[in-house]
Amino acid sequence: MSLNTPSNPSEKPSVLQVGRLPPWLEQRLNDEFDITLLDRQIDRAAFLRDDGARFTGVVTSAFAGADAALIAALPSLQVISNFGVGVDRIDLAAAKARGIAVGHTPDVLNDCVADMAMGLVIDVARRSMEADRFMRAGRWATGGGKSIGLGRKVSGARMGIVGLGRIGQTIARRADGFDMAVRYHSRNPVADVPWTHEPSLLELARWSDFLVVIVAGGAGTRHLINADVLQALGPRGFLVNVARGSVIDEPALVQALQQGVIAGAGLDVFENEPHAPEALFGLDNVVLLPHIASNTEETREAMGLLTLDNLRGHYFNQGQLVAAVPL
């Protein structure tokens, strides 16, 4: 018998699922665990009060998270497995205080998130989405062949990366391939990388043609990109955010885009998802994506398998999560 297979299906561990997950993953979770979907409970508070003590695991996503109230309502909780690398919606302090292990999905999504960051850099600089709208409206033909205005060159430009972690380094390597000059800002310089650390975020913004944000979310980075940083990026600078919406002061960004304080922005994430500031919808100098940077068949499958493996590791391999969040 494999370590990953429970000896008796009726003894499957009880795991509470918060939010929806890809259907194939929900199927696999149901095969191996006794899953209850919190979203199906009409009166969540009553359900948690009556049934909360039976769950030893939670499976959630970067979108749904697990806040302090939920963790407190689950007195037997041992493990939280997150479908996603970002754990800003999980109350890590509450988990740590109770000795609850937290698993997530690092590394398997680096390529796709970095690819999308480069896609946004190109889209916003070369105006490809704007050009697509122009074509679909028939304006190329009706305008007698007159095209949209000029874009800006990406190859050889300066890219400042805010957060040189797993994904930030993957973006930097792609920027190298575009012959870009790369510098980065983080609290600590990263050892053994060829890119220059810039201790001042304002200086990095001043230097950059493209400022790409890929720090962790949460209280420590809330509104790190504020009006001063946007001012420093300046009227020829572009902002790309594939981290979390909370990292940007959104009203300040809207104003900066409306008033030409910066040249444009490419945004995959927003402060109040699934909502984005409506003021952005009418602006041509912004590219908006509905948080899809990791959404490929390949990466979602790898994330799902790691989400499963973290649970399996906890229950069937002596509490050894494959990818545990350091608490």
| Cβ neighbours for 270, distance < 8 A, ≥ 6 positions apart | 245, 250, 276, 277, 291
Interface residue with ligand NAP among 13, 65, 106, 266 (CB under 6 A) is 106
217 binds ligand NAP (CB under 6 A): yes
Indicate the residue among 48 and 229 with the shorter CB distance to ligand NAP. 229
Q: Among residues 185, 244, 312, 314, which one is catalytic?
A: 244
215 binds, among ligand 8YV, ligand NAP, none (CB under 5 to 8 A by kind): ligand NAP
The nearest distance, CB 295 to ligand NAP, in angstroms, is: 8
89 binds ligand 8YV (CB under 6 A): no
264 binds ligand NAP (CB under 6 A): no
114 binds ligand NAP (CB under 6 A): no
As a whole number of Å, the end-to-end CA separation of the chain is 32
**Residue 9 preceded by cis peptide, ω within 30:** no
124 binds, among ligand 8YV, ligand NAP, none (CB under 5 to 8 A by kind): none
221 binds ligand NAP (CB under 6 A): yes
248 binds ligand 8YV (CB under 6 A): no
Indicate the residue among 20 and 236 with the shorter CB distance to ligand 8YV. 20
The nearest distance, CB 25 to ligand 8YV, in angstroms, is: 11
198 in active site: no
CA 299 to chain CA centroid, Å, is: 13
210 binds ligand 8YV (CB under 6 A): no
The nearest distance, CB 109 to ligand 8YV, in angstroms, is: 5
Sole residue written with tokens 């402060």: 271
Interface residue with ligand NAP among 244, 300, 312, 314 (CB under 6 A) is 244
The nearest distance, CB 187 to ligand 8YV, in angstroms, is: 20
313 binds ligand NAP (CB under 6 A): no
214 binds ligand 8YV (CB under 6 A): no
> What's the 3-state SS for the chain?
CCCCCCCCHHHCCEEEECCCCCHHHHHHHHHHCEEEEHHHCCCHHHHHHHHHHHCCEEEEECCCCECHHHHHCCCCCCEEEEECCCCCCECHHHHHHHCCEEECCCCCCHHHHHHHHHHHHHHHHHCHHHHHHHHHCCHHHHCCCCCCCCCCCCCCCEEEEECCCHHHHHHHHHHHHCCCEEEEECCCCCCCCCCEECCCHHHHHHHCCEEEECCCCCHHHCCCECHHHHHHHCCCCEEEECCCHHHECHHHHHHHHHCCCCCEEEECCCCECCECCHHHCCCCCEEECCCCCCCCHHHHHHHHHHHHHHHHHHHHCCCCCCCECCC
Strand partners, 35: 15
Q: Among residues 49, 98, 133, 273, which one is catalytic?
A: 273
Per-residue mark of binding to ligand 8YV, 279-308 (x: CB under 6 A): ------------x--x--------------
244 in active site: yes
Q: Tell me which residues in 50-69 interact with ligand 8YV (CB under 6 A).
A: 61-63
Which two tokens mark 4?
Answer: 């990953």
83 binds ligand 8YV (CB under 6 A): yes
Strand partners, 57: 15, 79
63 binds, among ligand 8YV, ligand NAP, none (CB under 5 to 8 A by kind): ligand 8YV
17 binds ligand 8YV (CB under 6 A): no
Which residues of the shown chain bind ligand 8YV in the complex (CB under 6 A)?
61-63, 83-86, 109, 291, 294
Query: Catalytic site residues?
Result: 244, 273, 291
